[in-house]
Amino acid sequence: MSKRDPLLVIGTPAAKVDGLTKSTGQEIFADDIALPQMLYGKMLGATVPHARIRSIDVSRAEALPGVKAIITGIEMPIKYGILPVSEDEYPLEIDRVRFVGDPVAAVAAIDEATAEEAVRLIEVDYEELPGAFDIEEGLEPVDAEHRIHDYGLRDNVHKQVHLHFGDVDDAMESATSVHEGVYFYSGTNHLAMEEHSAVAQYGADGRLTIWSSTQTPHYVHKAMAKVLSMPASRIRIVATPNGGGFGGKSDPFPHEFCAARLSIVSGRPVKITLTREEVFYMHRGRHPVLMWLRSGHDASGAITALDFKSYVDGGSYGSYGVASTYYTGALQTVTYKVPNYRFRGVRVFTNKPACGPKRGHGTPQPRFALEIHLDKIAEKLGLDPVAMRRSMLVDEYTMTANHMRITSCGLDECLEKIATASDFANLRGNLPYGKGIGVAVGSYMSGAGLPIYWNKMPHTSVDLKVDRGGGVCAKCMEIDIGQGSNSVLAMTVAEVLGLEPGDIQLVVSDTDTTPIDLGSYSSRVTFMMGNAAKEAAEKIREMLLAAAAEKLEVQATDLVLRHHRVEHRETGEGISFADTVPLAEAMFGQLSSTGSYTPPRLSGPYKGSGVGPSPAYSYSAAAVLVDVDPETGVVTPERVWMAHDVGRAVNPVLVEGQVEGGVYMALGEILMEEQVFRKGLHKIPSMLDYKSPTFLEMPPVETFIVESIDGEGPFGAKEVGQGPLLPMPPAVANAIYDAVGVRIDELPITPEKVVAALTDLEQGGPGRVGPEEVPDIDWGEALDVDPVWYDQAAEDWIPATRRRESD
């Protein structure tokens, strides 16, 4: 295949390779696993939000017939945490609990009912401590012994960031106009349909196997070896297909360690499946973030400086929180040109379930603030919101002030597509009272440029093995969480080898048998694994071409693999794929290959620059038409237009699926979802009472796929798993303003907030609901970083390549 050969598989709307297996119920999820002699495990969660554990009495539980093993924290006294900088969790807490639900003991019994009864019989004596339950409380000074953790910056402050690129104050001073705003984005859970589940088997051979519904088998592997003090070589993690993840299965979790430990203690396999309520407590969902921003603009409306503060409510543990905090500041610069930028962020510990990554990880919150803010400015300056945005987009293949390298960018086309399709220019401001239209944009990474722990190894590898019968087996630790990564792997290999996706046998997500992939997070799989798979397949292709060329007595460069054949590009003369394989094996030996991918070194010359850089960014733009009932405040999204620059649509149906899924998930965050706590207790930890939309609330979505063909993605592909969620919340908020003239600057936008804002408007107020101010804290000294890549004199952006050279 050369550049001129058309793609035959990539770009086709093929069915998912595991679609039928899943839809017919044949797929084996973690909870479907039943091993001989298997026990059922159950964890006991704390009933108080913050306390010292005085004692734990398990004697009554032990006496219950059917109970086979009971463990408490002292049996696993080694801390872990997904980020090396915040290893602050025990599988079972030993002397301190930090939120209601924090696990303190676990039982394995002959069945679930017995295990459930047994944990109820465990008596824990707590000495309750004062707690912190929101951002303001998290910022207050506390006595040393009442701190939630004994590490972090001070009191309950976990992390603080203060970065400054260029000269914001100077630029503000010379700006034609300066605008300020305060916003709040509430925390939400992932609501994956499948609850977390893990089965552990400690075999007679002294090897431990864990089947788990996890997005990150490699990180679980590392943590497991550490906590159990076992060599990683004796531990095998098999990630079972996830019934949805969305970031909620990206940490190592207590139930995984407990199942393992209980299996070691009892000598029998142990399964722990969380209840929905426990999933709400394990959480790791969206961080609630309070935000303040100020922007300076020139006469044309273009941004000359941006000053951004975020206050991040972390919950009880570190999780991904340090990265999440940086993410609330990192990607403000990748959509619009921002020559001067200051970011201040703080994350506090509170006595609530720990927050972590959820679809968009730390970026939907600032995007919400920024896109509403710009909408308000457009109105003040008398600019069309679409035209204003289009006039200040980043240029392709440039650097941002905070040293993010932009490659392809199809955002202008995205905006053009949705504006035209929705007839935005004619509708905005002209719809009858109660109907409104709004737009917003967003951008997300195609994989984090850096791994979670510092190393120089590949982020992903794919092994291919070709059988003499012509079968191709692709192995990779990637894990399909419903996003279709199995299909991407099969399609990529099939494309290069002239086969069909269904021809490729997949062996995935197993630390024993598959080569590394860091996991299904940060929208990295298609981009990174795709590159690795392509490389591996190209190596096999070369061998096949050489063998066929010899047999057919033609130049290998004239041959092409297509339709299960190796054939002459022009004449079509050739031999079948299956017949070529033995020829190649005779020539080269066993046909195996490995492809790997390591992102280019992208971090900038400052501490904290590791969060945000990605080999490529996806872009999206959304327009939303809403109906607002002014009497009740009920908001109904009626139509959505979403254009997404995915680089290249490996499979357009899967791209549309991700776009629609992102829209759907966003609607829940916009209109319904909220993690409310009463006395530290989650108010509504159930899928009936914690509201998220059903099928019936889903408006029609018109998706436009924009293909900017990225220079670094496989076949030009970028991400689509997370990006399309981002523009939705601000687009809906902007549409509500267009409909009834009120500004709801915080999520969720519930009917009572709309009513309150309308009432305020009627009474002559600004017609706004949202936070008024942010806490004043000592941000410390700024880390001043030169945005050297913006050449002030030339008023130009220095291309990335020039910077690379001087690196």
Which residues sit at the interface with another protein, rule CB under 8 A?
A: 45, 47-48, 100, 112-113, 116, 120, 195, 273, 275, 277, 630-633, 672, 678-679, 681, 683-686, 688-689, 691, 693-697, 750-752, 755
Distances (CA, A) of 520 to 173, 239, 493: 44, 11, 19
Q: Which CB atom, from 100 or from 330, has the smaller least distance to another protein?
A: 100
Smallest distance, Å, CB 693 to another protein?
A: 7
- Select 148 or 635, whichever has its Cβ closest to another protein: 635
| CB burial readout 487-511, b (16+ within 10 A) else e | bbbbbbbbbbbbbbbebbebebbbb
Rounded Cα gap, residues 359 and 669, in angstroms: 11
Distance (Å, rounded) from C-alpha 798 to C-alpha 789? 5
CB 311 within 8 A of CB 290: yes
Contact in structure between 156 and 146 (CB atoms under 8 Å) = no
Shortest Å distance, C-beta 247 to another protein: 23
Q: Based on CB atoms, which residue is closest to another protein, 27 or 697?
A: 697
- Please identify, using beta-carbon distances, which residue of 586 and 688 lies nearer to another protein: 688
Tokens of residue 496, six digits: 């290069």
Backbone angles phi, psi at 466, to 5 degrees: -110, 130
Q: Closer CB to another protein, residue 100 or residue 411?
A: 100
Euclidean distance between CA atoms 620 and 172, whole angstroms? 29
The conformation of residue 450, written as its DSSP 8-state character, comes to S
Residue 471, sorted as left (phi over 0), alpha (psi -120 to 50) or beta, turns out to be beta
Closest separation in Å from C-beta 694 to another protein: 5
Single-letter amino acid, residue 271: K
Of residues 7 and 113, the one with the C-beta less far from another protein: 113
CB of 68 to another protein, least distance (A): 17
CB of 671 to another protein, least distance (A): 9
Q: CA 332, CA 112: separation in Å to the nearest integer?
A: 48
Nearer to another protein, 217 or 685 (CB): 685
The minimum distance between CB 438 and another protein, in angstroms, equals 22
For 517-534, the DSSP string reads B--S-TT-IIIIIHHHHH
**Pick 566 or 754: Cβ nearer another protein:** 754
Helix (H, G, I), strand (E, B) or coil at 708: coil
CB of 742 to another protein, least distance (A): 15
CB of 135 to another protein, least distance (A): 21
Residue 733 C-beta: closest distance to another protein, Å: 19
Residues with Cβ within 8 Å of residue 225, at least 6 apart in sequence:
231, 232, 235
Minimal distance in Å, beta carbon 46 to another protein? 8
Q: Decide if 529 contacts 459 (C-beta within 8 A).
A: no
Of 419, 518, 503, nearest in space to 459 by CA: 518
Beta bridge partner(s), residue 76: none
Q: Which is nearer to another protein, 195 or 535 (CB)?
A: 195
Calculated CA dihedral for residues 395, 398, 401, 405, nearest 10 degrees: 120
Cβ proximity to another protein, 117 vs 538, nearer residue? 117
521 versus 664: smaller Cβ distance to another protein: 664
In the bound state with another protein, the residue whose beta carbon lies nearer, of 6 and 25, is: 25
Residue 126 dihedral angles phi and psi, to the nearest 5°: -110, 145
Copy the structure tokens of residue 289.
């973030």
Q: Return all residues near 423 (Cβ < 8 A) that are at least 6 apart.
A: none
Neighbours of 228 (CB within 10 A): 21
Minimum distance from CB of 369 to another protein (Å)? 25
User: Which residues sit opposite 690 in a β-bridge?
Assistant: none
d(Cα 362, Cα 62) in Å, to the nearest integer? 44
Least separation, in Å, of the C-beta of 31 and another protein?
A: 9
H-helix or E-strand spanning residue 172: helix 168-173
